[in-house]
Amino acid sequence: MTRITLTRTAVTGALTVTRLPLTAVELVTRRRGTAWLPATAFAMFEANVLRLAGAALRDEDLAAAGDRREDVAVRRTRAAKLEASASATEEKARQRREQREREAEQSTERARHRVEREREAIEAAAQERRSSVQRTAERRRDEAQQRAAAEQTRRAKRRRSDRLAVLEGQADAQDAATDAVETEKAALDTVDELDAVKERRRARA
């Protein structure tokens, strides 16, 4: 095994050992192979170490490995940015969708309240019209009853007046008849007295 190979193995091994804590966290959190920021930062660190070691050892393969590691880190960083951008866009879209849903619900609720108020106003107006019609009908019925009662009173008064007139006429007729009888009786008494006087005179003669 050449010196370059040994040095390359030592460098990669040291990087692997240095990355063990990060690898353990990746395994636990299931972030292995993702664009996790600590892993991406360590990948850039590995790329720089490999390139520097390759330049120092004049090991083109080691420097190329550093370039490849950097390419992978850059791609993962871009992917992470795209994913973050997509997540942000999705979050904004979700927020806008929820905002539209809330506005639609509020608009529906306002419309429902408006329809309810209009229905209540219509019912109140209809009730007022029914009450007004009922009051008018009751007033007209009362007025008709009052007119009928007044007419009955006038007819009763008229009947009483006519009856009194008849009774008064009958009383007057009866009085006149009584007067005639009295007059006739007085006349008869006078005749009787005259006859009695004549009889007495003849008796004296």
Angle, CA of 33, 11 and 64, to the nearest 5°:
65
Question: Measured on CA atoms in the order 98, 104, 105, 107, is the torsion positive or negative?
Answer: positive
DSSP string computed for 23-76: HHHHHHHT-TTS--HHHHHHHHHHHHHHHHHHHHHT-HHHHHHHHHHHHHHHHH
What is the DSSP code (8-state) at residue 100? H
The model's pTM: 0.39
Q: What does the pLDDT profile of the chain (205 residues) look like in tens digits? A: 465 565 666 666 666 677 666 666 666 666 665 556 677 777 787 877 777 877 777 777 777 777 787 787 788 778 777 877 888 888 888 899 999 999 999 999 999 999 999 999 999 999 999 999 999 999 999 888 888 888 888 888 888 877 777 777 776 667 666 766 677 677 777 766 776 767 777 777 6
Radius of gyration of the chain (CA): 68
Q: State the Cα torsion 73-77-82-86 to the nearest 10°.
A: 120
What is the DSSP code (8-state) at residue 82? H
Which pLDDT score, from 0 to 100, does residue 37 have?
A: 67
**Domain limits, the chain:** 3-109
Taking the CB of residue 25, how many other CB atoms lie within 10 A of it?
14
Which pLDDT score, from 0 to 100, does residue 120 have?
A: 92
Which pLDDT score, from 0 to 100, does residue 117 have?
A: 92
Angle at which helices 60-204 and 37-57 cross, to 10°: 170
Task: State whether residue 205 is helix, strand or coil.
Answer: coil
Q: How far apart are CA 11 and CA 135, in angstroms?
A: 107
